[in-house]
Chain A
Amino acid sequence: MTASAVSRRRFNKSVGALTIAFSMAPLAGTAEPMTLPGSLAKNRRLNAWLRIDADGTITIFTGKVELGQGILTALRQIAADELDVTPAKIVMVSGDTAQTPDEGFTSGSRSIEHGGAAIRHACVEARAILLALAAEKLGVTPDKLTVVDGAVTSGDKRLSYWEISVEAQLHRHTRVGAAPKPSDRHRLIGKSMPRLDIPAKVTGGASYVQDIRLPGMLFGRILRPPSYHAALVAFDEAQVRKLPGVVTVVRDGRFLGVVAEREEQAIVARQGLARAASWRDASSPPAFQDIYARLRSLPVDDHVVSRKGGDTPPSVVTSSHSATYTRPYTAHASIGPSCAVARFENGRLTVWTHSQGVFPLRNDLAKALDMDVTKVRCIHAQGSGCYGHNGADDVALDAALLARACNGRPVKVQWMRDDEFGWEPNGPAMIVELHAELGEAGEIVDWSHDVWSSSHTTRPQADGCNLLAAWHLERPKSPGTPEIIPQPAGGGDRNAIPLYDLPRHRVTHHFIRQSPIRVSALRSLGAYANIFAIETFMDDLAKAARVDSVEYRMRHLDDERAFAAIKAAASYAGWQPGLPGGTGRGRGFGFAQYKNSAAYLAVVVEVEVHRRTGEVHVRRVTAAIDAGEIVNPDGLVNQTEGGIVQAISWTLKEQVRFAADRVTSRDWSDYPIIAFPEIPEINVTILDRPGEKSLGAGEAAQGPTAAAIGNAIAHATGVRLRDLPITPDRIKGVFG
């Protein structure tokens, strides 16, 4: 059954007007929660989340980290609103194993849902404690008090938060039952507050781990093997030590690194490492064309993740439809290569890192270095844009291994561009097979979805050690067992269960245990491929049923919020049923609720396709998103626009090249991404739901955008393309 069917089916045939009217009991916004919300359940101590400081500020501690998505700005808004102070009084401390709560990874579009909910409730509770103490001191009842920017007043009596001795009272566990402000009393939540970090980022402020400078700091670079399994058979270390500025050379098994006084000297010495090392490579390459055949040949664990409709086949079937879709390995391809600074002092290791999870990283660093975990501290510092499990954790170990050889001097390591492309974990290649049967009126009466995918998470975890260099050491650590992420979130099967309300369905995840190419989490995980497949298949079925594709979707939905998002996107894009296809211009629709539980996003993409060259120009993108109660509307729009642009790039251009057991895309010429001349007009509309639970939104655009592009190209050309990316060569191939 779909996760969010909240009302009876409605066959609403009109797609013109936008209706947002619906009734559903408010969740976290106004009602009392039954359990501790979000990350509070795992970190119950109130003073783990906030501290009233003597200097007239309030420090908020969060385990969630800034990845370029604006999360610290949004969390500060929540805290300031619930505490009734101006945002300037809030100091954010994030992602420090010595200071902040452990909130796992900043991933899965969960930071507002989980981290935001925790901070909100901690602040509500702290405010209540402050007011109770103030009431006592002022000799009034708490309901007689008003708070303006931390000043508590009752008539002419006044006391500020900072004059109340509250520390002891915050040293206790949070309790169930604190009621946040009703949404109509929010002053900051729901407002587009400017991002905290932007002024420094446009004026050369120290914003990133790359900008950290410590006294006596050295610069390191590493040299990886030429392939995953290559053996180091000879290494002339002395030759490298003679190079200008070299402080030390680290060889541990087949891990090679060099440390120099100056950064450019380390880069030159890295070339020296390459000259000094001889490798033996034993593997045999699978041909690139065969990757999907190869994936099908690998051992799998089959999981039927959802089944509906029992064993009785549909009584009337008018037509049957099947299709196969593929998605290639995809790179994170952050603009700035991964970077970390590490320092060993008195047997203690401190690492500044742009990891998504400082606590899991700390555990894996301790394992890799055979250290006591309490002797390792990881502190988050921003890196270049993060879209999932990239090289951030790996480079932290690289820096630690080099710093261990430098007698207390800190070492900064940044990967070179070829390290980044060659060794970051890619988004996994996937295959999706869909089958549907249509009934008398063209409605879907049976549906099956089979997806083949490797793991979408090989992050630092409990089992094994998932840091790259650890596998190359003289005494190597074993990687963890690739994990299967269970439903309802799902990994390869994320969004494989149709949100559409169908009488029968069967969804099978064929989990490929090992991947030939290093893979892990990339923005939206399997949802990108599954939604591309489902939503382009829906268009084909609509065509077979002779129904407009937007109308066809709505006939198969039973969710008011889905209707509202679809209608809004269609309406704002000026969607008209029945426009003729095959003219070289086309428009396509795509829709999903991310994870079937987070934000709803519907999108219309308009394209022009040049048959002769095969080039696709995306001209206009119109999206509507429902992410529940919005904290920072402009932040949400920025993230959604970014997701749309990145999805256009993935869908039209991107595939990682590889040979044998190595990635061969090593720079931007091997891995082109979207550029300014290709950027369409983008319009994002928010369907705000004040009082509703906030829904994760950062990954919502990936799948629907891909599908809408696929559908627009099919409309423009009359031909359906099911292999990603949809490149000019593939389009030319269709037209001969």
Chain B
Amino acid sequence: MADAIELTVNGKAYRLSVPRETPLLYVLRNDLELNGAKFGCGLGQCGACTVLVGSQAVRSCSFPVDAAREKPITTIEGLGSPERLHPLQQAFIDEQAVQCGYCINGMVMTAAALLMRDPHPDGAAIRRELATNLCRCGTHARILRAIARAGREMAQ
């Protein structure tokens, strides 16, 4: 049955009527019409649906909306816009670190959480952080470069 849920997403407050166990992903994609987070597996295995809850990267496909009420939610749309790109988004463009791009939301958002926690990650730390984010096109090397580049830009 539907419950009244209050959420803060990308700085805006929302009041929704959905069952509290609804995965956050469907609320973001379908109620809030945010495209960034993607359905990949529904099992938390691939990372395409990653968003930030507080400063934590979570897999929104298997994260109940109820558990996201207490903290601000940030999606890739909230990180930056085409007009005001976040350094990570700029770095992914600069490095052309996309092929199909379906996984890229997860790469950017996982990296965003990492850079908040550790502004100067080395290559090994970036690889570890992304160890369970899957990419099928084989864009990995560019993604690693983009994240390292964004880290450098943000540290300046």
Q: Determine whether A365 belongs to the interface, using a CB cutoff of 8 Å to chain B.
A: no
A68 surroundings in chain B (CB, below 8 A): 98-102, 137
Known pairs A199-B85, A201-B101; list 20 more (Cβ under 8 Å): A68-B102, A195-B98, A198-B98, A202-B85, A203-B76, A203-B81, A205-B82, A207-B35, A264-B23, A335-B135, A385-B99, A417-B41, A638-B139, A642-B139, A643-B138, A646-B137, A668-B43, A669-B45, A675-B131, A676-B144
Contact pattern, A 497-522, Cβ under 8 Å of B = 1, otherwise 0: 00000000000000000000000000
Residues in A with CB closer than 8 Å to B18 are 262
Which residues of chain B have a CB within 8 Å of any CB of chain A?
18, 22-23, 26, 29-30, 33-36, 38-43, 45-46, 48, 75-77, 80-82, 85, 88-89, 92-93, 96, 98-105, 108, 126-128, 130-144
- Distance in angstroms from B106 CB to nearest chain A CB is 9
Are B85 and A203 in contact, CB atoms less than 8 angstroms apart?
yes
Q: Known contacts being A263-B26, A267-B42, is A203 close to B80, with CB within 8 Å?
A: yes
A666-704 with Cβ < 8 A to chain B: 667-669, 673-677, 679, 681-682
CB distance from B45 to the nearest CB of A (A): 4
In the bound complex, residues from chain A placing their C-beta under 8 Å from that of B142 are: 638, 641
| Secondary structure class of chain B's binding surface, majority of residues | loop
Contacts of B139 in A (CB 8 A): 638, 641-642, 645
CB distance from A346 to the nearest CB of B (A): 27
By a beta-carbon cutoff of 8 Å, the part of chain A in contact with chain B is: 67-70, 194-195, 197-208, 210-211, 213, 219, 262-264, 267, 332-337, 382-387, 414, 416-417, 634, 638-639, 641-646, 649, 667-669, 673-677, 679, 681-682
Residues of B within 8 A of A643 (CB): 138
Query: Closest approach, in angstroms, between the C-beta of B28 and any C-beta of chain A?
Result: 10
Residues of B within 8 A of A199 (CB): 82, 85, 93
* Beta-carbon contact of A675 and B100 below 8 Å: no
Tell me the dominant secondary structure on chain A's binding face: loop
A204→B77 contact, CB < 8 A:
yes
Closest B residue to A417 using CB positions: B41
Closest residue of chain B to A648 (Cβ to Cβ) is B138
Q: Tell whether, in the assembled complex, residue B136 and residue A194 are in contact, meaning their CB atoms are under 8 Å apart.
A: no
Provide the bound-state CA to CA distance between A343 and B104, in Å: 29
Which of A67, A195, A642, A676: most chain B CB closer than 10 A? A676
Contact: B141 with A263, CB < 8 Å?
A: no
Residues in A with CB closer than 8 Å to B88 are 202
Provide the bound-state CA to CA distance between A219 and B25, in Å: 15
Query: Cα distance A210–B133 when bound, in Å?
Result: 20
Per the bound structure, the CA–CA distance linking A316 and B100 in Å amounts to 53
Q: Which of B75, B103, B108 contacts A335 (CB 8 A)?
A: B103
Q: Give bound CA distance, A208 to B128, whole Å.
A: 29
* Chain A residues near B96 (CB-CB < 8 A): 194-195, 198, 634, 638
CA distance A203 to B100 in the complex (A): 14
Q: How far is the CA of A205 from the CA of B105 in the complex (A)?
A: 11
